[in-house]
Chains A and B, each alone.
Chain A
Amino acid sequence: MTLPATRAPEISTEDRPPSAVDLAIETVGLTKRFGGRAAVDGLQLEVPRGSVYGFLGPNGSGKTTTIRMLLGLVEPTSGTRSLLGCRVPSESATVLPRVGALVEGPAFHPYLSGRRNLARLDAADLWSDPRTASRRIDAALDRVGLLAAATKHYRAYSLGMRQRLAIAGTVLAHRDLLVLDEPTNGLDPQGTREVRHLVESLAHDGATVFISSHLLSEVEQICTHLGVMSDGRLVAQGPTQELRSRGERTVRVTTPQPTEAAEVLRGLGVSGVEVGAGEVHGTPGATEPEVIVAALVHADVRVRGFAVMTPSLEDLFVDLTGEGFDVSG
């Protein structure tokens, strides 16, 4: 099953045509080939401003290459990308200071302390104010719970502390957009929860958060929008609610008279009716569940149980990516 990538309705309605101003991230036909193989193929990302956008896909599906292209680290083979309405890379110098980025894990100088590593990043930023540097650095460290370890050498940090320091680096200054590549990698459940709270608080401040993950369960609760990558292509995109309701409901009737029950279901236009031992499955489509129950009772079919099942997002993504969230070749 392959569903076409959909556009988020609030940005593609007819009275308000899609324009870069409404989108925090927009890519058109973004493609990157390494050798002959397309790592990213014709990507049309549309990340609305103010959204928390979950960028999902198995490892190796092209998420990090996409993020590197968004940030101007990697030049696409074809296509364009813009952040906050500014073209990358031509307007990178003015837009990237407003973007906090975590790309493919933390990376710092091992023999500098956490605080001095952040000071170095801040020193590199032509937009940051040196007079407030030390206060901003301490505030960022405090925000990720690293203030107590601020003077320790980075090499002495655990994986979780390193990840936190990288997140602190993304909030050193005011950001309108955060691009977080696998921010919960290496964190324990408590750390994962803290990152979730941090993302929520950043979104609450008005920032757009673009967060990639290969684990749906980690981002599902906080994302207003989702995009799903599979093998370099965006196979679904839209508001989380819309995607959630996209999966087709099925009904299950538990009954000692499966043949008769199947008869009734077929009569109501339920498709894909399967008769099993003591139960019947079907896809009701537009037929409401209460109508089915009434019809069964009316036809004197003895019903022991009746269930309407909505597929989880997880099921949907396993369908979309074909292989679940495993490494793709």
Chain B
Amino acid sequence: MSVAERLSRPTRKRGRVVSTRLLRSEIGLIAGRRRNQMGLLVLAALPIVLAIAVKVSNRTAGGGPDFLDSVTSNGLFVSLAALTVEMGLFLPLAIAMLAGDAVAGEANLGTLRYLLTVPVRRTRLLVVKYASLCFGALWGVTVVAVVGAAIGIALFGTGPLTTLSGSQLPFGAASGRLVLVVLYCSAGIAALGAVGLFISTLTEQPIAATIALTIFTILSWILDGVPQLDWLHPWLIVDQWLAFADLLRDPPFWDNILRGLSVDAGYAVVFWLLAWARLAGKDITS
């Protein structure tokens, strides 16, 4: 018996029920892809540009995005200002790229059929794919926040943070609030990821899935801005995304945050189930 044969003898009587290997492989795939690394750089560049612009112009009042006015008093506001801007399009675009790769990308390469014949059950595949999208969402938002905080602290220092209610928070407590903001924004992007996962099961073209999810996001923002459609606003995924500002009140104002989280959870569950319904019975001919 050759070495190869001895090594290939079955070492297990039965399969594991749970293993993190596929998820780790998935995250490695996302993190290792050059395009994603470039995307992350773009996400990270924005807070740097914002901070430098504010520093150079040295204005303390003006019509810039929320929080920009406060940037000079505390560096952490750079993170908040950057998130306000990037939640609009950049972060949704980033998750749209990852979601496009998730199922449509694998179908396009043909690797989907090989994963399924390993076998990876379709339900397990969607669980792992969605977990990796959630990870990607958290990662993207964290990078924006951390880079923003770093450049902000470097340029503007770590003075006490003046909340939107007017009171002041020490730096430690302010950092804690920033962590909550990151988690809240990640939840919104991850919910959008579920929509993207569903779209990804509909096509074999990853770029089509990416574009479709981007259009979905932009359309949501547009509808959210039309006052005549206010009955629709509570149902839109983006409606409460910028409510993270409420976490910077003293004490935090939870109503909109909780409403936003429940909308996120609703989108995540419904669209994950739709993705499952689509993929579970689908003939894989790619």
The chain A residues found within 8 Å of chain B, CB to CB, are 68, 71-75, 92-94, 96-97, 99, 101, 103-112, 119-121, 123-130, 132, 135-136, 139-140, 142-143, 169, 171-175, 205
- Closest chain-B Cβ to A72's Cβ sits at a distance in Å of 7
Q: Complex Cα distance A112/B109, Å?
A: 13
Cβ–Cβ < 8 Å partners of B32 in chain A: 111-112
Cβ–Cβ < 8 Å partners of A169 in chain B: 114
Establish whether residues B8 and A174, one from each chain, have CB atoms under 8 Å apart when the complex forms. yes
Minimum-distance CB pairs A-B, first 6: A107-B110, A126-B15, A123-B21, A96-B119, A139-B4, A123-B25
Cβ–Cβ < 8 Å partners of B285 in chain A: 68, 73-74
Establish whether residues B120 and A124, one from each chain, have CB atoms under 8 Å apart when the complex forms. yes
Nearest residue (CB) in A for B283 is: A74
Task: Check if B22 is an interface residue, CB within 8 A of chain A.
Answer: yes
Q: A123-B21, A126-B15, A127-B12 are in contact. Are A103 and B117 (CB under 8 A)?
A: yes
Q: Which of B29, B33, B120, B284 contacts A74 (CB 8 A)?
A: B284
Establish whether residues B29 and A120, one from each chain, have CB atoms under 8 Å apart when the complex forms. yes
Q: A68-B284, A126-B15 are in contact. Are A97 and B119 (CB under 8 A)?
A: yes
Q: Complex Cα distance A110/B111, Å?
A: 10
Q: Complex Cα distance A168/B182, Å?
A: 43
Q: A93-B119, A120-B29, A139-B3 are in contact. Are A105 and B110 (CB under 8 A)?
A: yes
Q: Complex Cα distance A97/B104, Å?
A: 24
Task: Check if B255 is an interface residue, CB within 8 A of chain A.
Answer: no
**Chain B: interface residue count, which band?**
35 or more
Q: Complex Cα distance A109/B73, Å?
A: 48
Nearest residue (CB) in B for A175 is: B8
Establish whether residues B118 and A96, one from each chain, have CB atoms under 8 Å apart when the complex forms. yes
Q: A127-B14, A139-B7, A174-B8 are in contact. Are A73 and B114 (CB under 8 A)?
A: no
Nearest residue (CB) in B for A176 is: B10
Nearest residue (CB) in A for B17 is: A126
Establish whether residues A109 and B29, one from each chain, have CB atoms under 8 Å apart when the complex forms. yes
Cβ–Cβ < 8 Å partners of A139 in chain B: 3-4, 7-8
Q: A68-B284, A111-B34, A120-B25 are in contact. Are A135 and B7 (CB under 8 A)?
A: yes
Q: Which of A99, A103, A109 contacts B109 (CB 8 A)?
A: A109
Residue with the highest number of chain B CB atoms closer than 10 Å, among A107, A143, A205: A107
Q: Complex Cα distance A106/B115, Å?
A: 12
Task: Check if B116 is an interface residue, CB within 8 A of chain A.
Answer: yes
Nearest residue (CB) in B for A76 is: B283
Establish whether residues B111 and A108, one from each chain, have CB atoms under 8 Å apart when the complex forms. yes
Cβ–Cβ < 8 Å partners of A71 in chain B: 113, 116-117
Q: Complex Cα distance A127/B19, Å?
A: 10
Q: A73-B117, A74-B283, A136-B8 are in contact. Are A126 and B25 (CB under 8 A)?
A: no
Nearest residue (CB) in B for A98 is: B10
Q: Complex Cα distance A171/B281, Å?
A: 28
- Closest chain-A Cβ to B71's Cβ sits at a distance in Å of 39
- Closest chain-A Cβ to B261's Cβ sits at a distance in Å of 32
Cβ–Cβ < 8 Å partners of B24 in chain A: 123
Establish whether residues A75 and B109, one from each chain, have CB atoms under 8 Å apart when the complex forms. no
Cβ–Cβ < 8 Å partners of B110 in chain A: 104-107
Establish whether residues A93 and B25, one from each chain, have CB atoms under 8 Å apart when the complex forms. no
- Closest chain-A Cβ to B207's Cβ sits at a distance in Å of 15
Q: Which of B5, B15, B29, B109 contacts A127 (CB 8 A)?
A: B15
Q: Complex Cα distance A135/B29, Å?
A: 21
Cβ–Cβ < 8 Å partners of A111 in chain B: 32-34
Q: Can you list 24 A-B contacts (CB < 8 A)?
A: A71-B117, A73-B117, A74-B283, A74-B284, A93-B121, A94-B14, A96-B119, A97-B118, A103-B117, A104-B110, A104-B113, A107-B109, A107-B111, A121-B114, A123-B22, A124-B118, A124-B120, A126-B16, A127-B14, A132-B7, A135-B7, A139-B8, A140-B4, A173-B10
Establish whether residues B29 and A130, one from each chain, have CB atoms under 8 Å apart when the complex forms. no
Cβ–Cβ < 8 Å partners of A99 in chain B: 117
Nearest residue (CB) in A for B20 is: A123
- Closest chain-A Cβ to B264's Cβ sits at a distance in Å of 29
Q: Complex Cα distance A175/B120, Å?
A: 17
Other than A71-B113, A112-B29, A121-B115, give 5 A-B pairs with Cβ distance below 8 A.
A92-B119, A108-B109, A108-B111, A109-B109, A139-B8
